[in-house]
Structure 1
Amino acid sequence: MIRGQVYDLNEFIHLHPGGAKILISSAGMDATTAYEKVEHHLNSEVHAMLDMYKMGSVRRLELGSAWGYALTPAGPKVVSLAEVYRAWVRFLYRVVELENALVNDFSVHGLPLTKQEQPDEVTPLKSALFAETIDRVLGSVIEEILGKDLEYLWCVTTGLWAPDRSLSLHIESNKQLLEGASRVRAREQLKTWNDQLVARSMGDKPRAGDLAIGRGQQALEQQVTTLLSQIKGHLCAALKVFEVHEADSLEHGSDTLLAVFPGIRREVAGFLHGFYRTMAATHFASHDEKETP
């Protein structure tokens, strides 16, 4: 989106002179600042080309003047319905930013990094880069999803729809998930798994297990993609409340909005459990395979 206009750049992405990664980083978000930073808004030719991919305009919602009190970690705060809506949009934007960054990071693993490599070849460098990306997912990405922004979103949402709900219970539920055994085991397994990947990649000849390792990497990447897609689904369902009911959202949005928070925790918990199982299965499968002569 640029200046309130929505564009579909799927056909243009591979023609972009600055490369695809720049566009991927802004996919699904407001790219006005990035667009103007490189002064494209001053170039009539760029404007004309952009119009070829225009889909439509963003509609402004009429949210009225409804307001309420939110008990945030910083203290009580008066919040309007419009401010709560913006908080939901900001959180969705942040999830999309995380997703776009990971798409760019994962794209490295399907590319040859040297002239001698095949695109799908398992190498020590690719293994290290992949492990760094996965470690970031299990670390900072999960922490950010369940962190302060979600906490603030809970505060302003319950302030208008469920003022009797406990912030401390929300924080404790997220803390248990972050410190739970599934996440700890997954991070421990990642280290073991990566050590094996690097060790297996040191030889001159491909090994039989490399194909299994490659499939394991693809499975892990797909699980990350699915997690973020599921979280976006919950957030989009919440935003639909505002889009459909606008100023009447206070009368209609309670169940849908409040269901998002346990929904996100449920998706993260399932992801961590499945993630560990995938790493463990790939580790043992590749370990037991015989090397090619």
Structure 2
Amino acid sequence: MHSSESDRIGSSLQTAREVLAQAEANKPSFGHSPNGFLSRSHGFLPVTPPLFSLYDFYRHWIRFTYQIVEVENSLNNNFSLRLMSVTRRDRPEMMTKLKAQLLLNSHDTFYKNSLQGILGQKLELLWNITLGFCAADVSITQLPKSIAHVRSSAIASKAEALIAEVNTFLQSLPPTFEDNPEEWARFDHQLQQIEQCDLTLIAHLKLALREGLLAFEQHEDRVVERGGTQLVEALKKIPNIIEHYYTALNNE
């Protein structure tokens, strides 16, 4: 492109601020309707940030619950591999090293990715919004600190070490179940316990969220004044649920 053409195009361009300034000068009411893009209450640079509505509050609870359900469905789908043949020569009920490794990988994905996603920023946002509506006197750091404390605790470290031992145990097993039925049965029992702990954890998280959703259903537009404590207490249960998860893994 020649410099003259570039200069011509450049001189014809305007910044967004200039466009808005001209539009406002030509038509002062332009964009200043109650919900317009230049309005002082709802525009893109409002004087006061837009407030959350009760509907927005409910929507965050629903979306977070859906995330829990999606993780539960994924976990059930992955663990259903236990009842399937992985290769043509395998019987569906047969446990093999390949199937066992895939099941352990499913746990690893759940623990390191899905669970981390559940207990991360989205939960913290839901907690902050809930406190804003229902308990402004409660510290916004209370829940994330409690979760972090449990996840960095001795029982958490012990549970993670146990999972590593189960992986090592798998590598030490003979190639087929028939080569050492007793050791294979012991390994499979440990594997089933891990699967059950994962499923129980996600089920308990879903039940805690259900208690919050019931508050919305029972009290509707009066949920803040009549069900606010129920909402906050539902989220406060989460650290204990995680602690029980680690305890169950250690008792497998």
Tell me which interval the TM-score lies in, with the shorter structure as reference length: 0.7 to 0.9
Unaligned residue ranges in structure 2 (runs of 5+): 1-48
Secondary structure of 1:253's match?
Answer: helix
> What is the aligned counterpart of 1:173 among 134, 146, 166?
146
Shift of 1:262: 2.1
Shift of 1:181: 2.1
> Which segments of structure 1 move beyond 4 Å, counting only runs of 4 or more?
none
Aligned to 2:236: 262
> What is the aligned counterpart of 2:65 among 92, 97, 118?
92
Code of the residue aligned with 1:244 in structure 2: it is Q
Instruction: Pick the structure with more helix per residue.
Output: 2
Secondary structure of 1:82's match?
Answer: helix
Aligned to 1:272: 246
The separation in 1 between residues aligned to 2:107 and 2:211, in whole angstroms, is 28
Code of the residue aligned with 1:175 in structure 2: it is A
TM-score when normalising by structure 2: 0.75
Report the CA distance shift for 1:245/1:104 in structure 2 as closer, same or farther (over 3 A): same
* 1:70-109 alignment runs, 5 A limit: 78-109=51-82
Larger radius of gyration: 2
The separation in 1 between residues aligned to 2:73 and 2:98, in whole angstroms, is 22
Q: What is the aligned-residue identity percentage? A: 28
TM-score when normalising by structure 1: 0.65
The separation in 1 between residues aligned to 2:203 and 2:174, in whole angstroms, is 32
Instruction: Pick the structure with more strand per residue.
Output: 1
Shift of 1:197: 1.6
Secondary structure of 1:205's match?
Answer: helix
CA contact (8 A) 2:134 2:224 kept: yes
CA contact (8 A) 2:96 2:176 kept: no
The separation in 1 between residues aligned to 2:118 and 2:249, in whole angstroms, is 17
Residue 231 (str. 1) matches residue 205 (str. 2): yes
Residue 163 (str. 1) matches residue 136 (str. 2): yes
Shift of 1:158: 0.5
Report the aligned-residue RMSD. 1.8
Shift of 1:157: 0.5
The separation in 1 between residues aligned to 2:150 and 2:50, in whole angstroms, is 28
Unaligned residue ranges in structure 1 (runs of 5+): 1-75, 279-293
The separation in 2 between residues aligned to 1:178 and 1:262, in whole angstroms, is 15
Aligned to 2:28: none
Residues 165-193 of structure 1: CA distance to partner in whole angstroms, max 9, x if unpaired? Answer: 11122221121122222222222221221
